[in-house]
Structure 1
Amino acid sequence: MSTSKKEKPYTSNLKGVAALLGEGFVQTEAQDSSPYNIAINLIKLPSSQPRRYFDSEKLRQLALSIQEHGILEPLLVRPQGQEYELVAGERRLRAAKMGGLEKVPVIVKELNDQEALQISLIENLAREDLNSVEETEGILQFISLRLEQNTQDIISLLYRMQNEAKGKVTQNVLGSKESITIQSVFNTLGTISWESFVSSRLPLLKLPQDVLDVLRLGKIEYTKATAIARVKNDLERKALMEAAITENLSLVQINERIKSFRTSDSQPTSLKERYKQVSTRLQKAPVWENPKKQKALEKLLVQIELLLNENSSE
């Protein structure tokens, strides 16, 4: 099995790390880049980790690959007393533990807290399976570290930059040191422009929490999630989200269902029509494989049969 670039983030992204952290990083990196094996139980996770969600199936597949081929790229750690703190490679570390490895190859590097967190953020931002919410939060956190400001201040600054670029204000924000640093970060990352980030990504952070949670797990595209978030009714939004995922609805289909919600608000749907709609959705839904839901369905069917029997006896 070949190793993708995202399975070896430290070496393959070293150029990007150096570009974002500066020449000092390049010089010290050249001094100590020889990997060696250490006991896996000596590696501890840092208290602040940029990545929060891991696909269990992909992790299992990587664990199988590691069992067969070993870890092809070393983890990056920094010394912490008699132990080591992980800086880059959490996915490989988790998979190595799943695969039963006792030792893993590492590169040990002296890093301060800010350098370690910045490298972790850069590694996270370079993932192929990075979802839009993780990317948004990661970029904000990275800029926050660079400018030594909290993320809310960074968001405010980005919106001021946008307003000035559109000619709405004349504050000369775009010429400030902070603005130039922000533009430099986006240019170096090369994944999205700061203008697109402000217009399409920052609004994601204002989505309802249930939509954000699903988006973070990578179960749905952000364009679909944004559309679903327009549904204000919690129950309707949850039902639409489940349908979008299980039935793989297109954005067009999602918008059609949102229109049907609005129509039903102004003109109540008849019971007969509602039954037709529910029946159609029920045929495609995965509830038939769920034993608990099967019992609930059985009870509902019994009630319907009783109603029909009552009508036939009248």
Structure 2
Amino acid sequence: MASKSNQPYKGQANLSILFGDDDTDKFAKTSVSLLSIELPSSQPRRYFDSQAMQSLVESIKRDGILQPLLVRPLNNDRYELVAGERRYRAATEVGLKEVPVVIRQLTQQQALHIALIENLQREDLNPIEETEGILEFLSSQLEVCQDDVIRLLYRMQNDIQRQNDNVIIQPEAETIIKLFTQLGVMSWESFVSNRLALLKLPERIIEALRKGQIEYTKAKAIAKVKDEQARNELLDTAIADNLSLTQIKERVAALKAMFGKEKAEETLKNQMKVTLSKVYKSKAWNDPKKQKRLQKILAELDSLL
């Protein structure tokens, strides 16, 4: 994965994505009332680490807000937050009356674009948020729903595997390749192979990933346990004891063996019930030829037990 410090959309350079100008000093900077800023209806970011937030709160108490928030003007001296939600929330907790902002005339689509890019450049971004953010970014750029994006990505993967080469001819596929190159996070192939599967994980594992409690390689290993209670117990233990991936795989294998044995036992019990039911229904003991065979089978069973 490329280092985020080497990626093209970093910090205030976000603005140059839309306006082709790296000189952010030219943008109008001012201060506005914190109460005049509204959060957008669509929020790319969903989870905020409590420790990181508290650290930012202490920093703002000590030094103030060093990097302005990016907002776009609405009606009646109101503004919508485009980028800087952590700073906005921390400023609210500190009780600031005014905050420094950069005001830009942006369409809703442009605002969402910048918000998604900023979200994808966070240092503390967890794999679930990153996967969801990339999907939302692709969806906004292609102007299709996320389900259509996922279907297109899988179709691209299937096309490559069938053709045994890297020729992509669909216009949408070419656009996706360019967007992944611009993001600089990972290749589209790696995203399809390693990230889309995360969205199919059990909800508790997804929540742990979202909170940054566990790495996604460990999460995928734990998800192989089909029994929900056993899976949740292993997840809790892995988080509490910081189990290594090797330790998790060993426990998963042990659980699979245990549940495999229990399943085999249950299957045998069911087979016994079905067979006995057939014996009673057929009244095989009334047939002299079958009596001897039944007696022999029963004797072997009695000996076995």
TM-score, normalised with respect to structure 1: 0.76
* Secondary structure class of the residue paired with 1:167: helix
Amino acid aligned to 1:220: I
Counterpart for residue 208 of structure 1: 202
Q: 1:219 aligns with which of 203, 213, 238?
A: 213
TM-superposed deviation, 1:176: 2.0
* Secondary structure class of the residue paired with 1:37: strand
Separation (CA, whole Å) in 2 of partners of 1:194 and 1:71? 36
TM-superposed deviation, 1:167: 2.5
Identity rate, percent: 50
Deviation per residue, 1:260-290 (Å, 9 max, x gap)? 112222446xxxxxxxxxxxxxxxxxxxxxx
Counterpart for residue 91 of structure 1: 86
**Matching of residues 7-46 of structure 1 within 5 Å:** 12-15=10-13, 18-19=16-17, 21=18, 25-26=19-20, 33-46=27-40
Q: 1:77 aligns with which of 67, 71, 82?
A: 71
TM-superposed deviation, 1:120: 0.5
CA contact (8 A) 2:15 2:24 kept: no
Q: 2:253 aligns with which of 252, 259, 269?
A: 259
Counterpart for residue 156 of structure 1: 151
Counterpart for residue 110 of structure 1: 105
TM-superposed deviation, 1:15: 3.7
Amino acid aligned to 1:148: E
Counterpart for residue 123 of structure 2: 128
Separation (CA, whole Å) in 2 of partners of 1:75 and 1:91? 10
**Matching of residues 168-183 of structure 1 within 5 Å:** 174-183=168-177
TM-superposed deviation, 1:13: 3.3
Separation (CA, whole Å) in 2 of partners of 1:17 and 1:223? 34
Change (3 A) 1:200 1:266: closer
Deviation per residue, 1:80-117 (Å, 9 max, x gap)? 11211100000011111112211110001111111111
Change (3 A) 1:86 1:29: farther
CA contact (8 A) 1:32 1:109 kept: no
CA contact (8 A) 1:63 1:96 kept: yes
TM-superposed deviation, 1:180: 1.3
Structure 1 unaligned spans of 5+: 269-314
Separation (CA, whole Å) in 1 of partners of 2:183 and 2:260? 48
TM-superposed deviation, 1:209: 1.2
Larger Rg: 2
Separation (CA, whole Å) in 2 of partners of 1:114 and 1:173? 31
Counterpart for residue 290 of structure 1: none
Deviation per residue, 1:107-145 (Å, 9 max, x gap)? 011111111111100000000000111111111111111
Q: 2:187 aligns with which of 171, 182, 193?
A: 193
* Secondary structure class of the residue paired with 1:174: coil
Separation (CA, whole Å) in 1 of partners of 2:12 and 2:24? 11
Separation (CA, whole Å) in 1 of partners of 2:15 and 2:174? 19
TM-superposed deviation, 1:259: 1.4
CA contact (8 A) 1:136 1:202 kept: yes
* Secondary structure class of the residue paired with 1:264: helix
